[in-house]
Amino acid sequence: MNADDFIEKFAFAIEVEAATLALDTRFKDLPNWDSLNTLAVIAMADADYGASLTGSDIQNSQTVGELMQVVQGRMG
């Protein structure tokens, strides 16, 4: 997994432009962030990386980079 690939998939899941995100973006501060985004990111991690995330994983992660590390750790 590389960072650009993860950011692109993350951005697609939450329907923002990938160029607006970086590893240090605090994603829950994004103006369109809501509970549906949590579901979309869980679905993305499952479909694209085979990684099972929980709502708590997302709640406990502050930045895109932190979440990427969690996904990396869950990949089979």
Partner 1 sequence: MSIDSSAYTRPDIFADEIERLFAGRMYLCSVHELPEVDSYLAIHLGGASITVRHTTEGLRAFDNVCLHRCALIDPEGCGKRPFRCRYHAWSYAADGALHAAPLVEVDDLARRALQTYPLTVVGEHVFIGLSGQAPAVDKMAYAMSEAGIPLTNPEPFHRGELLQQCNWKLLVENNIESYHLSFVHAQSFIPAGFVSKSDYAWEHDAYTCWSHCEPTEATSKTARLQRLSRQSRHEFGHIFVFPNLFLTATNQMVGFRSYVLPLTPDRTLFKWELFELPALLALPTPVREQIRAESIRFTEASLQEDKPMVEACQLGLSSRHAFIQLRAPDARIQRFHDYYAEQMRHAEK
Interaction site with partner 1 (CB under 8 A) = 15, 35-36, 38-40, 42-43, 45-47, 52-55
Tell me the closest approach of the beta carbon of residue 53 to partner 1, in angstroms: 6
- Whichever of 22 and 43 has its CB closer to partner 1, that residue is 43
Tell me the closest approach of the beta carbon of residue 24 to partner 1, in angstroms: 25
Tell me the closest approach of the beta carbon of residue 6 to partner 1, in angstroms: 17
- Whichever of 18 and 22 has its CB closer to partner 1, that residue is 18
Inter-helix orientation angle 3-14/35-49, to 10°: 140
Let me know how long the chain is: 76
